[in-house]
Structure 1
Amino acid sequence: MSGAATPAAPTPATPSPAGRAAAYVRSLAPAASDYRDLRRTWKGDLVAGVTVGIVALPLALAFGVSSGAGAASGLVTAIIAGVVAAVFGGSNVQVSGPTGAMVVVLGPIIAANGVGALATVGLLAGVMVVAAGALRLGRAVTYIPWPVIEGFTLGIAVIIFLQQVPAALGTTPGESTHAIVAALQSLSTVSWPEVAWSLGIVAVVAVVMLLAPRIHRMLPGSIIAIVLVTAVAALLQLPVATIGELPTGLPAPTLPTLSWDAVAPLLGPALTVAALAAIESLLSARVAASISDTGPYDADRELVGQGLASVASAFFGGMPATGAIARTAVNVRSGGRTRVAAIVHALLLAGVVAVGATVVAVIPLAALAGVLMVTSTRMISVATIRTVVGSTRSDAIVFIVTAIITVSFDLIYAVLIGIAVAAFFALRALARSSGVHREELPGPAEPGDERIALFRLEGALFFGAAERMLERVGDIRGVEVVIIRMSQLQILDATGAQVINELIQALERRGVTVLVKGIQTRHLRLVTRVGAIASLRHQNHLFEELPPAVEHARSHVRRAAATR
């Protein structure tokens, strides 16, 4: 009895380019799945959001003042960018807003172009970051070596500390945009005995922030310190500068200036801001994924979210935003598990703007300087520095070079140069791991074997190691046949393949027969394209196994001996 034929399963249709593009756009957009755990985690998210909001308040104020944009700009950034990045970003626990690294970049830009350029720079940078996400460049941050990240962090911490020196002394910053020079210039305008009050405020803030976690890890030391010194300064009417009047609500959105005359000189600064925003946000998201149990992050979506956050912040007069590692860590430790925690943190800050603007206005600037000085010192981990410096000599050099360039010149150049130096050492190590070894012929020795040279190539044969192989094999003398074993060669680039071609041609011109054994399939096409196979005396001089190649070499030597 014959059964009916089972119909073949339908072959899935290949998505059209438009369909793939639509699917990719959907992957970058918010989805209901972002909040699937909210019913279980909402209490923890609420507590974490309030906790992060308390921690973020003094930082938002301080970063706004330190950048030159003003305290209100820092708050607007934390509120607007905080919500937009939480909704559109690629991490469930990332908290975004103004950060110290961004302040370091924005300070010179604002000093050179005025506060009015901030919105245009933010808009341009935001669009660039969105474009980077749309082009799937999110995973590029994984190529930044650890010593570069740590050197960059150390340099940022030093600059943030130096930027607070004028406010800590109760004086005005120097004219220079260089943090070290500006800090030194501010010393010439110190006014005694008023400086004692500012330094006293900084000292009190530092002591309270350092002691609070020892009493209880959840105590918001920065808020306690600011409330304490603000109350004392107001009661005693101390002669110290304060934040000043703040708006009692969010400003109305306005379109930044987009004329070519305004945009052209800001394209370079905007590119720097965009690069920093992308790097810092992705690093923060990666740290968040490593310390939380909420799953991996989507790097491309994170860039899109952070770019949109900077664009939205620019419309409201805020600063470009990035993911904030410290606030994100507080969020995770406090129980945050969904994006709602970051949204709650932003809403809490909005409540402060609406209700407490009058109180915030009387906070001494020296208190904010103290907060950032303590924050910058906490960014420096002595244990981490010892680990990096004590790991390898090359890693120590990369770390030190990155840190020095960050402090002395430019943040983005520091990262690029740090990566370049790390790449140099990596290529050097890879070149040293490659080898060209002369081996004995397998099996019992036969007459004429001294006229045959067997070389084994292993590791990597690329532009950094190819010349050494050419010298090692090309200088061989007193042989009639050279066998090149390539089966253990792992990496081969165009330079390496061309050197093999040059080597074969040079040996053949000297009358030395070259046999090639074991070219891997993945290397064969490249070697053929550069002409190495065609340079062999005969197409039969290409072997898959060593014994036939050795036997062919011995027969060649025997024939040559018979003709002499």
Structure 2
Amino acid sequence: MNTARSRLGALRSLLPAADDYRGLSRSWRADLLAGVTVGIVALPLALAFGVSSGVGAEAGLVTAIVAGLVAAVFGGSNVQVSGPTGAMVVVLAPIVAAHGAGAVVYVSILAGVIVAAAGLLRLGRAVSYIPWPVIEGFTAGIGVIIFLQQVPSALGVGIAGHASNAVVAAAQVVEESTWPGALLPLGAVAAVAVIMLVLGRWLPSVPGSFVAIVLVSVPAALLDLPLATIGALPNSLPAPGLPPVDLALLTALAGPALAVAALAAIESLLSARVAASLANTGGLNADRELLGQGLASIAAGFFGGMPATGAIARTAVNVRSGARTRVAAIVHALLLLAVILVAASIVSRIPLAALAGVLMVTAARMVSISTFRRVARSGGASASVFLVTAFVTVAFDLVIAVGIGIAAAAFFALRALSRTSGAHREDLPGAPEPGDERIGLFRIEGSLFFGAAERLIDEVARHDVEVVVLRLSGLQLVDATGANALGEMVTALERRGATVLIKGVRPEHRSLLDQLGVIGALRHPNHLFAELEPAVAHARSHIRRATASA
């Protein structure tokens, strides 16, 4: 009965509740203003990310509306703003290139199911195991890729027929560009960038991307400049529906969907953690956040959208604009819906080059020199992990980069941990006695694990003594490899005629040492001691007996 109640309580913690809107009576004005502000910021980004991913501006806008609304209601953060993001574009673009834009709907639903399942399985805290240099490295790599992906629009060249790698594709586009025809879209990009940078410096409260889009799009439309535009947009949301089931395509998309799900979970939880640190807006339920983001991607797929994640930049704008409850994110989604219903024809005339300028500035801000300096100051290992992760992200694949980055971070962490471990020979306590030089007293401290076991064992085994006393009370960590190596060392020392005494086995290590034969390898059960003095006294008595019998 208690177990059933516990499970029911755990399930309720993942569902919307009245407490989600506690304090709304005091904060509704601030929430409304924040929602409008972040909606204005999100509009050009949603359009740009949809275009850049290859599925079109409509899909980006639909995702921002549907996923933004569902994640706001069902997510685990009170102020998270969700929608299409640059990191997701990086993953989706190769999928579109390989399987077509229609495949994104399948990927969105499949990835959403995986992320929601992760929330139900309580895997929300797993992101805390990703090291900070890895996160910063893959963020910088994503910024480079997003920037390079905008080169075709910035130069007025189509992306069809170019390599899937962003670096190679950008180089091909530059080579194929026609001059001076490329100057016009390049000028639009430059104008957007200048406006955004100037407003960001002198008027940071003004949504620079929105203002830049307006100031570039209006003259382009009035002068009828030959710039490629977004094109026709629907004046309503598409009807929801399931795509036709294609088992062969679903099988082919299983791997990409898993990669998308991993990215969605990581980015959403990181964004929510950032939001929680910016202001006192309530706690974060990581498992509920995963469930909400999974449902958001599923819903976006039903409406023909793309996978969604929590968006760090838009969430930060939301918090800094005064948001305190989920109403702000809901208002943001409703404002974007109003754009579709009222201003679709106006939005359709936005030049693609202007959107490219927005994304180029956004990408440049993701590659932070100050962040790299902080990483570099934290040590060579952190800088190496950062650079490796960033390089693999740009050159190969984002998810592979995270895996390699974690592996590199683990390697450096284990190396550092192994260096804190040591086996030190000590003088015997008390007044010296004849035969003390035939006794080796060793203090083993730190960690006896697979990364350090062999070195520590070699340090003890190289001494030619008749009695070995191992002090293990300073040992903080022992894994199976370390315990096994310790047992093999005890056996080897006993076989060559040395007597091994062990002192100070900690209670948490006793079971493992017993199971792997360390204690059983001792010549006699009495060779296990709790205190040092009796162990040394026994070692000296053993030397005296050996001397007397000689």
Q: Residues 66-85 of structure 1: matches in 2 within 5 Å? A: 66-85=52-71
Give 1:475's match in structure 2, choosing from 459, 462, 472.
462
Give 1:326's match in structure 2, choosing from 313, 320, 324.
313
Helix, strand or coil at the partner of 1:487: coil
**Is 1:523–2:542 an aligned residue pair?**
no
Q: Residues 89-168 of structure 1: matches in 2 within 5 Å? A: 89-168=75-154
Over aligned residue pairs, what C-alpha RMSD do you find?
A: 1.1
Q: Hey, what does 1:196 align to over in structure 2?
A: 183
How far apart are the structure 2 equivalents of 1:348 and 1:49?
8
Q: Hey, what does 1:497 align to over in structure 2?
A: 483
Give 2:287's match in structure 1, choosing from 300, 303, 313.
300
1:126–1:274 contact (8 Å) kept in structure 2: yes
Q: Hey, what does 1:239 align to over in structure 2?
A: 226
Equivalent position amino acid for 1:281 in 2:
S
Q: Residues 237-316 of structure 1: matches in 2 within 5 Å? A: 237-316=224-303
**Is 1:462–2:444 an aligned residue pair?**
no
The Cα offsets for residues 121-175 of structure 1, whole Å up to 9 and x where unpaired, read as 1000000001111111111111111111111111000000000000011111252
How far apart are the structure 2 equivalents of 1:27 and 1:494?
38
**Is 1:436–2:399 an aligned residue pair?**
no
Report deviation, 1:57. Answer: 0.3
Q: Residues 17-56 of structure 1: matches in 2 within 5 Å? A: 18-56=4-42
**Is 1:340–2:332 an aligned residue pair?**
no
Give 1:556's match in structure 2, choosing from 542, 545, 549.
542
How far apart are the structure 2 equivalents of 1:228 and 1:183?
27
Q: What is the percent sequence identity of the aligned residues?
A: 66
Q: TM-score, normalised by structure 1?
A: 0.96
1:434–1:458 contact (8 Å) kept in structure 2: yes
Q: Hey, what does 1:9 align to over in structure 2?
A: none
**Is 1:363–2:363 an aligned residue pair?**
no
The Cα offsets for residues 412-470 of structure 1, whole Å up to 9 and x where unpaired, read as 00000000000000000101100100000001111111111100010000011110122
How far apart are the structure 1 equivalents of 2:226 and 2:413?
56
Q: TM-score, normalised by structure 2?
A: 0.98
How far apart are the structure 1 equivalents of 2:305 and 2:93?
14
**Is 1:224–2:220 an aligned residue pair?**
no
Q: How many residues align?
A: 549
How far apart are the structure 1 equivalents of 2:481 and 2:180?
69
1:80–1:309 contact (8 Å) kept in structure 2: yes
Report deviation, 1:514. Answer: 0.7
Report deviation, 1:561. Answer: 1.1
Q: Hey, what does 1:423 align to over in structure 2?
A: 410
Report deviation, 1:213. Answer: 2.8
The Cα offsets for residues 220-248 of structure 1, whole Å up to 9 and x where unpaired, read as 11111111111111111111100110000
How far apart are the structure 1 equivalents of 2:491 and 2:198?
74
Moved over 4 A (4+): none
The Cα offsets for residues 352-407 of structure 1, whole Å up to 9 and x where unpaired, read as 00000000011111000011011111112211111112321111110100000000
The Cα offsets for residues 252-281 of structure 1, whole Å up to 9 and x where unpaired, read as 001023332221111011011111101111
Helix, strand or coil at the partner of 1:457: strand
Report deviation, 1:485. Answer: 0.4
Report deviation, 1:284. Answer: 0.6
Report deviation, 1:296. Answer: 2.6
1:244–1:362 contact (8 Å) kept in structure 2: yes
How far apart are the structure 1 equivalents of 2:162 and 2:466?
75
**Is 1:404–2:388 an aligned residue pair?**
no
Equivalent position amino acid for 1:453 in 2:
G
How far apart are the structure 1 equivalents of 2:244 and 2:536?
76
Helix, strand or coil at the partner of 2:350: coil
Give 2:48's match in structure 1, choosing from 62, 66, 71.
62
Report deviation, 1:219. Answer: 1.2
Equivalent position amino acid for 2:191 in 1:
V
For structure 2, the residue ranges without an aligned partner over 5 or more in a row are: none
Name whichever of 209-218 and 539-548 sits farther off: 209-218
Helix, strand or coil at the partner of 1:483: strand
